[in-house]
Structure 1
């Protein structure tokens, strides 16, 4: 058994930012299921939204966030995160993040980008690899801290809580079980939101700019509107995709602003300075998660959730572009201070933890079954729980997921635990929570759009649903 003052699961911007702060108060373990740099943060191409210009204001950033969130944002949380953003940006710069600058009237200033849903340019970026740059600089800073241990290829199995150990005191999180095992990786390429923000125009197969029919901001509409519009155009035309056209921008600008995207497109036979880029809707971000306050504290004492895994109230029914990195770093700062106050080191006492117990049988067909179930969940979520939903499709998904979860539970407790099996269990759990929540919402709001209830119902559904295990 290894003991640390703080255990962090995940090595994205939220986890690493928290670990750096927590290291000032005690020992920290950062466990991640792959390499340290393999996180959603590393794939965040666009940038981090923050008010840093005199032409912008906190009020405008708050307004844009609330508008994108479609009535489900917690306004106080939004204001807190937006106003604490500049200090978080300063700390990122202190660990070595060099955001792009431009020369204006003989002096250097931040080169701010604009993305869908934003009324002003406020997105700080490092070319088109912002997340990767932040990730690498935070990992380097962590490597210089003797208080932090990075445990790669460790997959979390389950939380250890006082209730599970039979303690009669207040329930709290005491630690977790993790599996140390190397895994493979699958990479895919995401077209950055900033291509739209820099003037990219969505066109159909005939070259027509179709977005003005769906939203006053056209191709700069919030991403939930854009996803539904693309889906509608594909279904209407029978085409396999629509096109993102930025050929009106000079090649030199595109190579400088989007070097990674430009090179990747060339490898796929597309010169984005001369040809439009084929695009389709894709799952991009999870709005919702473990319910927390603005400090990252959950209902289980000692368990904090930060970043995409959490639901602070910032994003509401649809995340505003580039607010995710901002949330991760701001809430991490608040969480580290909160945990240090809540659990000072003098409260330390030894707890005897039981060994993890599950089945020990190994089955040569295990991977076949796991991959089949994994693929089935992916397909049913795309077919039944995608951009456009109906109750009938959601009920079909719920029924199949219940059966799959029964199969997975039997497999989980009877056979030797593996990374693939843990991932399948987690995938099925999250899928079921998404479907159950969607069935409860008898309206359309933000990224949730159902043909059965196409209108927003302010009287009955202007609130989140919190699901808990019985």
Structure 2
């Protein structure tokens, strides 16, 4: 407990055996698994439960069906090798092996919940499998080009109908409640007892005492100006974990998606950009990236023998280099009939959302190339967890994008994330159920929340400026192309912004905007500090002052102090 947080307690109090913060695929599976075990669950989410990073995922979920292993059409080893190669030496090999063997469990769960993956009536295998960049075989399960939306809406429907799950929408988590936070002088191993949460609609703080807490808060794409993430991806789980002294690793590895739709009228603002799935560059579609609109020359071949089919880190860097070297605003993704030999009907039926969205903006992708730029997409690092998804603090778990399981390494292989989130949402629950001590939990006394001030902030314009400055600094100084000079300036500026946002937090009642600014600035600083520490180029962390990979010194995960 900090000196500034006095003990004038609020009366809003909830006791729960299990608290889940976040409502993407990981959080929703965890809630469903707990309910199926007869447990009562509290699920906290910042907006509606459907509004998560999962909703916006287009590509799909990667997994090898054991039946295809028996038929020798794919193998667990192949999926593992593709994952290890993408991870550039920093994956945990045991985690990767276990994931590749169990990944299909996540697919089976989703099918059982009602997700209707695209079928393939012309093949003996019932589902149409796609092959994306970095994968040696077709193993991506999709629902058209709106896989995440289909998954999120299906799971949300199940959760909304479940009386065991108490859904708290428009609730923003503020801080974790831990043993050391309650008593900084105690020397026992730390333990999590729940969280303080802002009820945005009633403008009050709720104390949630929980036997087990699960952080499923997703990523932090909003720390950058240009991102495929929705507005609630502000690094909340990372920031809360850091304040609770939970181990965090590999935050310098932030993956930029190579292709979001370029729109000139969005230049300079922070609006979410429309994602153009990698499946358009996949084996079945065969799209290519070009520098000129009418060209059929794949410029990525100058950087990698796989050309436009290479992994995200390779393609994103190639685009970034060309844009900066030639003063371009964007490059072109060509999936036209001329380039791919795919009919307009094929394109429309396989990528209906992309076709519709682009057509609304005057682009018929069967005839015209798509202007694209890279944008922040996925956080490869996160909160360090063990094989059971438990963090360095007992009774605190992290699942989904916010977690560092050891699977992603220095760069995520396309479409592994949805599968990982679905799988570990179950693994965490199995461990939590097997290690729940209700008697000891009931003995713990948790004080109610007390804000150091009940005054509402009036100068919103200045706070918005701090928000914009954070993202501008990250985009310009800690984006795809990094160096020591930029990173030192970024760290210095972000340190000041963390101090300012902390002062605002303690001097005013914690609104949703104040909480997000505090988390955004801290998460950005963690990313920049990690990037400054790693003096090499590896995976999706690229430094022009250290352009080579250095296995002698940096074949290790970074750690955040």
Q: Same fold (TM over 0.5)?
A: yes
Shift of residue 180, structure 1, vs aligned partner = 1.2
Shift of residue 363, structure 1, vs aligned partner = 2.8
- Aligned: 1:7 with 2:101: no
Partner of 2:456: 362
Partner of 1:244: 333
Partner of 1:110: 127
Task: Please give the secondary structure, in 1, of the residue aligned with 2:14.
Answer: coil
Match of 1:66 among 66, 75, 84: 84
Match of 1:154 among 158, 171, 193: 171
Q: Measure the CA separation in 1 of the matches of 2:325 and 2:463.
A: 36
Q: Deviations over 1:161-205 (max 9, x none)?
A: 112222665320000000111599865311112111121100002
1:286-305 mapped onto 2 (5 Å cutoff):
286-305=379-398
Q: Measure the CA separation in 1 of the matches of 2:125 and 2:423.
A: 26
Q: Measure the CA separation in 2 of the matches of 1:78 and 1:454.
A: 27
CA RMSD of aligned residues (A): 1.6
Question: Per chain length, whose mean CA-contact separation is higher, i.e. which structure has more relative contact order (CA < 8 Å, sep 6+)?
Answer: 2
Normalising by structure 1, we get a TM-score of: 0.96
1:71-86 mapped onto 2 (5 Å cutoff):
71-86=89-104
Q: Deviations over 1:61-98 (max 9, x none)?
A: 00000000000000111111111112221111111011
Match of 1:321 among 414, 421, 437: 414
Q: Measure the CA separation in 2 of the matches of 1:108 and 1:57.
A: 15
Partner of 1:188: 273
- Aligned: 1:394 with 2:494: no
Task: Please give the secondary structure, in 1, of the residue aligned with 2:469.
Answer: helix
Q: Which moved more, 1:218-227 or 1:181-190?
A: 181-190
Task: Please give the secondary structure, in 1, of the residue aligned with 2:138.
Answer: coil
Q: Deviations over 1:208-232 (max 9, x none)?
A: 3201111111111010000110011
Shift of residue 357, structure 1, vs aligned partner = 2.3
Q: Deviations over 1:324-358 (max 9, x none)?
A: 00110111111000011111445441433222222
Partner of 1:233: 322
Q: Deviations over 1:289-336 (max 9, x none)?
A: 101123211000010001110100000000000000011011111100
Q: Measure the CA separation in 1 of the matches of 2:33 and 2:272.
A: 31
Partner of 1:165: 182
Q: Is the 8 A contact 1:297 1:305 kept in 2?
A: yes
- Aligned: 1:38 with 2:51: yes
Normalising by structure 2, we get a TM-score of: 0.81
Q: Is the 8 A contact 1:294 1:331 kept in 2?
A: no
Task: Please give the secondary structure, in 1, of the residue aligned with 2:154.
Answer: helix
Q: Is the 8 A contact 1:442 1:453 kept in 2?
A: yes
Q: Is the 8 A contact 1:50 1:86 kept in 2?
A: yes
Q: Measure the CA separation in 1 of the matches of 2:291 and 2:383.
A: 38
Partner of 1:337: 430
Partner of 1:275: 368
1:425-444 mapped onto 2 (5 Å cutoff):
425-444=518-537
Partner of 1:465: 558
Q: Measure the CA separation in 2 of the matches of 1:440 and 1:147.
A: 45
| Unmatched segments (≥5 aa) in structure 2 | 1-12, 204-230, 233-270
Q: Measure the CA separation in 2 of the matches of 1:124 and 1:95.
A: 15
Q: Is the 8 A contact 1:391 1:452 kept in 2?
A: yes
Q: Which moved more, 1:389-398 or 1:402-411?
A: 402-411
More strand by share: 2
| Unmatched segments (≥5 aa) in structure 1 | none
Q: Is the 8 A contact 2:189 2:393 kept in 1?
A: no
Task: Please give the secondary structure, in 2, of the residue aligned with 1:8.
Answer: strand
- Aligned: 1:259 with 2:352: yes
Q: Is the 8 A contact 1:28 1:148 kept in 2?
A: yes
Q: Measure the CA separation in 2 of the matches of 1:174 and 1:377.
A: 31
Shift of residue 108, structure 1, vs aligned partner = 5.9
Q: Measure the CA separation in 2 of the matches of 1:375 and 1:21.
A: 39
Q: Measure the CA separation in 1 of the matches of 2:378 and 2:539.
A: 13
Q: Is the 8 A contact 1:205 1:239 kept in 2?
A: no
- Aligned: 1:51 with 2:64: yes
Task: Please give the secondary structure, in 2, of the residue aligned with 1:2.
Answer: strand
Task: Please give the secondary structure, in 2, of the residue aligned with 1:103.
Answer: coil
Q: Measure the CA separation in 1 of the matches of 2:441 and 2:323.
A: 59
Shift of residue 465, structure 1, vs aligned partner = 1.1
**Closer/same/farther in 2, CA of residues 434 and 179 from structure 1, 3 Å limit:** same
Q: Measure the CA separation in 2 of the matches of 1:461 and 1:84.
A: 30
Partner of 2:504: 411
Shift of residue 145, structure 1, vs aligned partner = 2.2
Partner of 2:289: 202
Q: Is the 8 A contact 2:86 2:539 kept in 1?
A: yes
